Amino acid sequence: MTVQRDLPRKQLEQFERMFYPRSIVVAGASTDERKMGSRWVAGLLGSGYKGELYPVNPGGGELLKLPIYRRLTEIPGPVDLVVCCVPRDRVLDLLDDCAAKRIGAIYFFTAGFRETGDPKWMAVEEEMARRARAGGFRIIGPNCIGVSCPEHRIPYGPSTMVNTAGASGFISQSGGHAGKMAALSLTRGIGFSKVASIGNCCDLGSADFLEYLGQDPKTQAVGMYLEGPRDSARLIEVMGQVTPRKPVFVWKGGRTAAGARAASSHTGALAASASVWSAALRQAGAVEVNGLDELADTLLLYQAVGRQERANLGIICGLTDGGGGEAVLSADACAAQGIDVVPFTDRTRRELLGLLGQVGSVLVNPVDVSQRSGDMDVFERTFELVAAEPGVDLIVVYENVDLLVTFVGQPVCHMMNDVVARAGQKHGKPVIVVSPPGAVDRERLEVEARLTAAGTAVFPSMERAAKAIANVRRHCRRTK
């Protein structure tokens, strides 16, 4: 097993200044509140950021009751982090001021460098990295949205959107994908420690951020979106150091010829074959996922259930009607991912027979409780029996809110989900819910919001839940 080395103190301090800045400069903010830089200032103020905030623009003036400094060097106090929203032909002068001010780091929303393929702007990007090294500070990007730290009330991008603080980290070469992940997390209950949109990576790359998150005690799992990192050899080495300690789930973009062309024009990414990447990720102990939804599902599941080396399921379905079909669907979805739905013991089956009756019931695993729909005592006793099964590691509840609202009514539906929300803590085994979309979308979203608020992970299909379980189990088996 490769042992992760500790970051040098200076490097660790640089990352701490990025994610926990005591002061932030927004270069390019102006008196026009509609401009992007001004919106960044408004977002930081609205999100509750408590540090010092300094707009900078040669025109001066005032923005949202804050004085606008004409130059970075005019700011009286120290500066940890700079957000750059100035035109690309002004970035080198700004970097000279960053060096003079001894900042910690700067990230560039400004784009139009290496990703254009224009030799002039590719050379400017190289010069940006050179000046940062000479000045003793770091660059994130360019062509990125930068960093977010919910704990420190730093939102994602020029908005007030601050995620719930949690234990997942996310590193993305795409600012749009990072923004979509941040938005998804708000409705699905994924808590983030840090989010980084890293763009072209002229200085800091994916390996640097992964090395930091691998050492960060507030990060327990890492998700990554990669296109074609320039530091790929070092990245695989760092993954091998991090994965024995915490899972790394990777979505690799640009796997097709068309995708690779798009990635090159997006972040200037370098192409490599999909099979080479898959093999390298597997060797490094990372788990490859396909798409944003699968990555979000997997991070959510790991947050909810932690390590699952066996991940044998006990499935409860048919909360009101249609349980037979749900049972078959659930078993098939799990089998397709190699997940065991273990048969119940004869004792449990006898108990279930007494509870549910034989006619119209499925008493194996998955178990169909529809014959006693709405009976809270029977529902809770079924949970007790499934949780007591020694072969069951994780309980899945498949519920169809359409049928629940139609046949038992919304109040009983909420009562049943209150039982579900309490079940994990009560019975000592994690519980997740599958809740497919249907006709009563408003009621379904209300149910899911209540479950999410209670800390219960919810998935829109059994297939997606099974895939997430398989991904988490894959990590656990690779890192025994």
Do residues 264 and 348 both lie within one domain? Answer: no
Spans of the chain, pLDDT less than 50 = 1-3, 259-260, 262-264, 266-270
pLDDT at 295: 98
Instruction: Measure the CA dihedral 91/9/1/284, to 10°.
Output: -10
Do residues 291 and 312 both lie within one domain? Answer: no
Whether the upstream peptide bond of residue 150 has omega within 30° of 0, thus cis, is: no
Do residues 283 and 426 both lie within one domain? Answer: no
Q: Is residue 3 part of a domain?
A: no
Structural domain boundaries, residue 322: 307-478
Do residues 284 and 330 both lie within one domain? Answer: no
Do residues 311 and 452 both lie within one domain? Answer: yes
The token duo for 10 is: 């200076």
The runs of H, that is alpha helices, within 290-389 are: 292-305, 323-336, 346-356, 376-388
pLDDT at 308: 86
pLDDT at 266: 43
Assign residue 375 the CATH number of its domain.
3.40.50.261
In the chain, the number of structural domains is 3
**Domain endpoint, select from 96, 114, 140:** 140
Give the sign of the dihedral formed by CA 139, CA 142, CA 148, CA 152: positive
pLDDT at 58: 96
pLDDT at 82: 98
Do residues 300 and 348 both lie within one domain? Answer: no
pLDDT at 358: 63
Q: Is residue 44 part of a domain?
A: yes
Assign residue 107 the CATH number of its domain.
3.40.50.720
Q: Is residue 134 part of a domain?
A: yes
pLDDT at 139: 97
What is the pairing mode between strands 367-368 and 313-317?
A: parallel
Do residues 227 and 93 both lie within one domain? Answer: no
pLDDT at 142: 96
Q: Is residue 1 part of a domain?
A: no
Do residues 47 and 169 both lie within one domain? Answer: no
Do residues 385 and 242 both lie within one domain? Answer: no
Q: Is residue 161 part of a domain?
A: yes
Q: What global pTM score does this model have? A: 0.92
Q: Is residue 285 part of a domain?
A: yes
Residue 423's SS3 state is helix
Do residues 125 and 151 both lie within one domain? Answer: no
**Domain endpoint, select from 253, 277, 304:** 304
149 Cβ contact list (under 8 Å, min separation 6): 19, 20, 193, 194, 195
**Domain endpoint, select from 304, 323, 347:** 304
How far out from the chain centre does Cα 10 lie?
28
Q: Is residue 194 part of a domain?
A: yes
User: Is 403 within 8 Å of 321 (Cβ atoms)?
Assistant: yes
d(CA 131, CA 367): 64
The runs of H, that is alpha helices, within 346-440 are: 346-356, 376-388, 401-407, 410-427
Do residues 192 and 261 both lie within one domain? Answer: yes
Count of CB atoms situated within 10 Å of the CB of 384: 12
pLDDT at 1: 39
pLDDT at 5: 60
Do residues 335 and 243 both lie within one domain? Answer: no
User: Is 221 within 8 Å of 287 (Cβ atoms)?
Assistant: no
pLDDT at 318: 86
Q: Is residue 4 part of a domain?
A: no
